[in-house]
Amino acid sequence: MDMFDLKHQTAVISGAARGLGLAFAETLASAGCNIAVLDILPQPSSALHELGSQHNVKVKYYSIDITVRDHVVSTLSKIVQDFGRVDININAAGVVSDESFLTTSDKNLQRTFAINVNGFFLVAQACANVMVEQYKSQHGDVPAKDATTGSIVFIASIATYIASTAQQISCYTASKAAIKGLVKPVAMELSRYGIRVNSLSPGYTMTDMMRGLQTEQPDLVKQFEKETLFGRIALPQELKGAILWLCSSKASGWYTGQDLLLDGGATSWKHPAVLN
């Protein structure tokens, strides 16, 4: 039995038009999973559409605002019509602004929480409702004992473990802490339906956003590199094993209500250098 075989399953991934979310989509597609992507961009990276032919899976893109409940609910209905089911949900959409706590604007506060918290909540809630209906159609309302109906993964952040002198992101950090706070109670509520709920906290990773910082704030990226035990920033593919493990009920069926930290050791030691 291949523990990482996701054939005939469907994953709903928010924020996968590009960046880390796209890397997660590539990972699940390579395991045979069909992919439904939710993102605000009008069009995704061409690499997303190529996944279908590369891995012989179904891939569809839905351009929506995940902060609007009606948009999320109607889009999930379309996904069920298009794919027939939902087995996995990865919440990877997110925004971050470098802004002092003392001067954090209402605009930053509202936008960050609307996307990073409300959007995650709404998408996960809609996906969970589909998963629960799938469970009930097979098992009735009897609590699960050995059934594994689905997996929900929230993308959190290293920022909730350690404050970096390199950035002023209190608003973003608070939003990610709120997401981590969802994991245990939601895992408890959904366990009766065989649904696992976890979060993944990546460390500094070479996403599209990080490449932009390399150009705009090279000293900042150098600081990030100094903070890891390997002296470098992670590549997106180095997170693929973790996300595949979290999504595969065959591999991590006994893992729920937890946060998985993947940070290159950055939170394991006292950093000798700080950004002036």
At residue 177, the pLDDT reads 98
Structure tokens, 190: 């959904």
Asked if residue 39 has pLDDT above 60, the reply is: yes
CA angle 88, 175, 72 (to 5 degrees): 45
Catalytic positions, written as ranges? 157, 172, 176
Region 16-36: what's the mean pLDDT?
94
User: Phi and psi at residue 256, in whole multiples of 5°?
Assistant: -155, 155
What digits encode the pLDDT tens for the residues 112-169? 999 999 999 999 999 999 999 999 999 898 888 877 789 999 999 999 999 887 889 9
Mean pLDDT of 227-252: 94
Task: Give me the residue spans of the domains in the chain.
Answer: 10-261
Per-residue confidence band for 270, with pLDDT thresholds at 50, 70 and 90? confident
pLDDT on residue 276: 52
CA distance 273 to 276: 9
Give φ, ψ of 168 to 5 degrees.
-115, 95
CB 220 within 8 A of CB 166: yes
pLDDT at 275 over 60: no
CATH of 10-261, one of 3.40.50.720, 2.60.40.60, 3.40.50.150, 3.40.50.2300: 3.40.50.720
Calculate ∠ Cα 200-17-111, nearest 5°: 70
Half-sphere exposure of 133 (CA within 13 A, CB side): 10
pLDDT at 214: 79
- How confident is the model over 54-83, as a mean pLDDT? 97
Residue appearing with tokens 């893992």: 255
| 3-state SS string for the chain | CCCCCCCCCEEEEECCCCHHHHHHHHHHHHCCCEEEEEECCCCCCHHHHHHHHHHCCCEEEEECCCCCHHHHHHHHHHHHHHHCCCCEEEECCCCCCCCCHHHCCHHHHHHHHHHHHHHHHHHHHHHHHHHHHHHHHHHCCCCCCCCCCEEEEEECCHHHCCCCCCCCCHHHHHHHHHHHHHHHHHHHHHHHHCEEEEEEEECCECCHHHHHHHHHCHHHHHHHHHHCCCCCCECHHHHHHHHHHHHCHHHHCCCCCCEEEECCCCCCCCCCCCCC
The answer to whether residue 213 scores a pLDDT higher than 90 is no
- Average pLDDT (4-23) is 94
Q: What confidence score (pLDDT) does residue 274 get? A: 58
